Amino acid sequence: MKLSLTIAELAKQSRLPIDTIRYYQGLGLLDAPRRHGRIALYGDAHLKRLRLIRSMARRGLPLKVIKDLVARPAKRGMERALRSAVQEEADRSRYTSAEFAEMLGVPRGLLDLVEGCALREVLKDEAGAILYSDADLEAARGVMQILGYGIPVTRLLSLALRHHSAAAETVDEAIDLFNQYVRGGERDADPEAVAESFRAMLPLVVSLVGHHFYRLLVSRALARLRQSGDEQAFQMATREAASIRLPLAQR
């Protein structure tokens, strides 16, 4: 027998708030319900879709990626293979904000400051609380080292926000390129081959981006030192920069 649920009943069975369900509908992640008079009714497909979205969100996937993976009816084999490949990249360990602050050794208020800014690419649990991964912990420890050199946290956050805004546009375009030329380039492409392409390309792209940022940072910093006229500092910095190598990902 097919399900016929009101939105309140759907929220209860999917364990998602009503506002979240409506938000997913607005994003195109969930099909519109059928109508019985003024009452909206949902069925099995809606419940299955919500459970799938919740499962993928808990693995840290952004809604844009989730929409691309679940909202297209075509290429089901490819969708499943890609979904599996993306999920493999998600860290398994998850920490609450309180646990994360304790492991990092910072006041909870400092973490609240970071969470309250526009750096919003975060994983949340079913109740909407932010969760952190081992990769987040490693990155945050790096931030703490940088702050240890005397850089004000507010200035570092401001810089991070500008970088985030620019990087988000680049990331979206990179996803579009992958979808157009790797996923959609060949209609009869083997799903596992496409998934393997994702697995191979992800570390390569990440390391190339890191390498480019490193080269840009070093070249600009050395140029400023040379312009300052401090030849000794310039020579020392040049030697140090030459000794640092960021390895490119190898397969």
The CATH number for 100's domain is: 1.10.1660.10
Query: Does 204 map to a domain?
Result: yes
Query: Does 152 map to a domain?
Result: yes
161 neighbors 50 (Cβ within 8 angstroms): no
Provide the domain count of the chain: 3
Identify whether residues 95 and 179 lie together within a single domain: yes
Point out the least confidently predicted range of 21-30, 68-77, 137-146, 204-213.
68-77
The mean per-residue pLDDT over the stretch 63-72 comes to 71
Identify whether residues 24 and 112 lie together within a single domain: no
User: 70: helix, coil or strand?
Assistant: helix
What is the structure's pLDDT at 42?
A: 92
Query: Does 83 map to a domain?
Result: no
74 or 117, greater pLDDT: 117
75 or 191, greater pLDDT: 191
What is the DSSP annotation of 95-113?
EEHHHHHHHHT--HHHHHH
**Structural domain of 8:** 1-72
Q: Per-residue pLDDT for 246 more than 80? A: no
Identify whether residues 55 and 106 lie together within a single domain: no
Identify whether residues 199 and 185 lie together within a single domain: no
Tell which of 168, 189, 210 closes a domain: 189
**DSSP tag of 179:** I
18 neighbors 8 (Cβ within 8 angstroms): yes
Identify whether residues 109 and 127 lie together within a single domain: yes
Q: d(Cα 78, Cα 207) in Å, to the nearest integer?
A: 26
Query: Does 116 map to a domain?
Result: yes
Give buried/exposed letters for 73-98 (b at 16+ CB in 10 A, else e).
eebeebbebbbebbeeeeeeebbebe
Identify the CA nearest to 21 among candidates 10, 13, 5.
Answer: 10
Give the position of tokens 């009869």. 188
Q: Per-residue pLDDT for 174 more than 60? A: yes
Q: How confident is the model at residue 115 (pLDDT cuts 50, 70, 90)?
A: confident
Q: What is the pLDDT of residues 28-52, one digit of tens each?
A: 888 889 888 888 899 888 988 888 8
What is the structure's pLDDT at 217?
A: 85
